[in-house]
Amino acid sequence: MSLENAVAIVTGGAMGIGFAIAEDLAARGAAVVIADQSDAHAGAQKLVANGHRAVGVKTDVTSKADIEAMVSIAQKEFGRIDILVNNAGIYSTLQPKPFEQIDVAEFRRIMDVNVMGVFLCCRAVVPVFEQQGAGRIINISSGVAFKGNPLMAHYVASKGAVVSLTRALATELGPRGILVNSVAPGFTLSDGVERNPALVAGVKEPSLRNRVIGRSMTPADLVGAVAFFASADAAFITGQTLVVDGGAYFH
């Protein structure tokens, strides 16, 4: 699936799942804007060093000003935007806990980044897509949105909201030539996740037991689904969520 001459923004694209997505889109021919709170420029330089077109933009997805700057820089550097991958989110630093122990500030922070961040990025990029007459939005949700997960009620709620927002935007933006889909990964051993022993201990083994494909999932397992939704092969698909979890959940 070639993405030659396309321009993609990947939020949270400096490491883990986000960088794997950015790297794959670049390998398929897209110019990539890595938007991240930290290491955005370093991530972009890795792509440039491998012969790809890329730029890094320091971006807090809860900041309207940062997001507007992200869009402006993307247009200035590459002249257009074709693909928005809303990957930025809080997960790898979570400490599993009963919902009674999740304080209000923590719950709001998860919703601000994982849901409001998606909303704000879409709000900023959609006018560009409208001017161009087309665009693709791919939201990274999670398999827990469908099957639930104990000890992380705030995260599960946020990813359920991303799935619902994907459907709502698809119905509203489809007539304008903008397609909106979601990819829902299962538990993925990314760099950040592996640095959180409590998360790995609580989730890894149950995930492996529940999978038809009985191995750990890595970011590389996810990138093809994102590329598909970004490609011409998905030109008649919108409002859908593709679960990529090794067969842990069927729907």
Locate the domains of the chain by residue range: 7-244
Active site residues: 155
Decide yes or no: CATH 3.40.50.720 for domain 7-244: yes
Q: Which amino acid is at 64?
A: K
Residue 207 has pLDDT above 80, yes or no: no
Residue-wise pLDDT tens digits, 5-60: 999 999 999 999 999 999 999 999 999 999 999 999 999 999 999 999 999 999 99
Q: How far apart are CA 172 and CA 162, in angstroms?
A: 15
Whole-angstrom distance, CA of residue 40 vs CA of residue 95: 25
CB neighbourhood size of 207 (10 A):
20
Q: How far is CA 154 from CA 107, 158, 167, 188, 210, in A?
A: 6, 6, 20, 18, 22
Mean pLDDT of 212-231: 92
CB 25 within 8 A of CB 3: yes
- Under a CB-based contact definition with an 8 Å cutoff, are residues 13 and 21 in contact? yes
Q: What is the amino acid identity at position 225?
A: A
Q: DSSP secondary-structure letter at 85?
A: E
Predicted TM-score of the model (pTM): 0.94
Retrieve residue 182's tokens.
């979601």
Q: Which helix (H) or strand (E) holds 21?
A: helix 16-27
pLDDT digits (tens, 9 = 90+) for 95-139: 889 999 999 999 999 999 999 999 999 999 999 999 999 999 999
Q: Give pLDDT tens digits for 136-194.
A: 999 999 999 998 888 899 999 999 999 999 999 999 999 999 999 999 998 877 665 55
- Give me the sheet containing 54-58, strands edge to edge: 54-58, 31-36, 7-11, 83-86, 135-140, 178-185, 241-244
